[in-house]
Every structure is written in structure tokens, then in C-alpha cells.
Amino acid sequence: QVQLVESGGGLVQPGGSLRLSCAVSGSIFSMYAMGWYRQAPGKQRELVAIMTSGGITNYADSVKGRFTISRDNTKNTVYLQMNSLKPEDTAVYYCNGKRTVGDYWGQGTQVTVSS
């Protein structure tokens, strides 16, 4: 059974930084892509960043230049480095893993950007 566990969320002031982590139980190599999504209150879940097993990345326009997705295969962990955070980045952030049989989701971690 594959499990994804996020950590690293919290409260940060505008302009600050946070790094989210997503630990994958089992092999991260079983995923053909790993990504981060977020959902703000009253809004649909949206893609923030995604990385294929080959290292190709894609970002939402709203986070380009501020967020960076990366992975450490030795630790079976995916990261989301978030810099220059804005109040509109406030949301629950979810880790996602994609396999041919379907998607796997973490439980989510709250990120709040506020002064």
C-alpha cells in the first residue's frame, strides 16, 4: 500500500519561505510523476507543480519563479520550496503521486501566509 505523508506547512509572513516535504512509502520509482496541488477555501483543487520521473517540471503560472519542486530518490521524498510567499498562496497543499493504475494523495498540509 502506497502512502504519501506531507509535512512542513505552517504560518508564514508575506515574503517568507517554506519547504514542504512529501515522504513516499514504498518506492518513489513506481510513480511516473510526482506533484503538488493546493486547495483554498471555496476553490477547486489546482496543480501547483509537477515533476516527471525523467525530471521534467511544470508549474502553475502563479508560482513560476517562486516555487521549486525537487525530489531525493534516496529518501523517497519530494519537496516543494516556496519563496516570496503571498497571501493568495494560502491553501491546503497536497502531495500527489501518479501511477498507471491511478493517483495517490497525501492528507494535506496547511500553509497560511499572513501578517
> What pLDDT does 5 receive?
95
Compare 74 and 106 and report the one with higher pLDDT: 106
pLDDT above 80: residue 12: yes
pLDDT > 70 in the chain, percent:
100
Average pLDDT over residues 81-102: 96
Q: Would you say the C-alpha torsion 103, 79, 59, 54 has a positive or negative sign?
A: negative
Average pLDDT over residues 75-87: 96
SS3 content of the chain, % helix, strand, coil (to 5): 10, 55, 40
Helix (H) or strand (E) holding 72, with range, is strand 67-72
Average pLDDT over residues 17-23: 97
> What pLDDT does 2 receive?
86
pLDDT digits (tens, 9 = 90+) for 26-66: 777 778 899 999 999 999 999 999 999 999 999 999 999 99
Residue 78: exposure state from Cβ atoms within 10 A (0-12, 13-18, ≥19) = buried
